Amino acid sequence: MAEAERIIGTPDSAGADESAASDDGTAAPEERPKGRRRIVALLVVAVLAYLLDLGSKMLVVAKLEGREAIPLIGDLLRLDAIRNPGAAFGMGEAFTIVFTCIAAVVIIVIIRLARKLYSLPWAIALGLLLGGALGNLTDRIFRSPGVFEGAVVDFIAPAHFAVFNLADSAIVCGGILIVFLSFRGVDPDGTVHKD
């Protein structure tokens, strides 16, 4: 996990010590609340993404599973409930427990990074990743065929593309935002590098 923190570029407390203390040795009042607001933003985004995913899957299982696909935009977009034991695009069906462990590690890394978070865009990106990972991890833990081997409920079916769910969408959007922020030189601690 320390390696992930190093790659993402979050500094340890070395740089924070200089900015967090004033001349008389007391903590600067603006530093901590700003960071707390970013953590709250991360948590709000994660909870919203998780609840939207969980609610949509419950609705799909109750109303759509075992029925014909529902066309939304002709043949371009349908709602079609499937159970996916593998990763994205249905690959790796034999490695369900591996994907469960990867999701758990991602969640732990995001929680560890949150304490060093001072960038709102990074908070949103990590919140999307966290909410999406929690959504799919919930399926893998609680859905059949068993604990840590459950199949994820997918239902958004674009033409000529894999079927996915809202958790997958949150993960992809969070990942795209992280790539964009990295190209812009924005670090999770709010610093900007102009290389």
| Residue pLDDT, tens place only, 6-39 | 444 544 444 444 444 444 444 444 444 567 889 9
**Which has more confidence, 184 or 100?**
184
Quote the CA–CA distance of 165 and 53 in Å, as a whole number.
7
Which pLDDT does position 94 carry in this prediction?
58
Residue 42: CB partners within 8 Å, gap ≥ 6?
110, 114, 117, 123, 124, 126, 127, 130
The yes-or-no verdict on residue 137 having pLDDT over 60 is: yes
> Strand order of the sheet with strand 152-158?
70-73, 77-84, 152-158
The yes-or-no verdict on residue 145 having pLDDT over 60 is: yes
Quote the CA–CA distance of 135 and 117 in Å, as a whole number.
23
**How many C-alpha atoms does 142 have within 13 Å on its Cβ side?**
10
Q: Are 94 and 154 in contact (CB under 8 A)?
A: no
Which pLDDT does position 12 carry in this prediction?
43
The yes-or-no verdict on residue 92 having pLDDT over 70 is: no
Give catalytic residue positions.
154, 168
Task: Using alpha carbons, select from 168, 169, 191 the residue that is nearest to residue 122.
Answer: 191
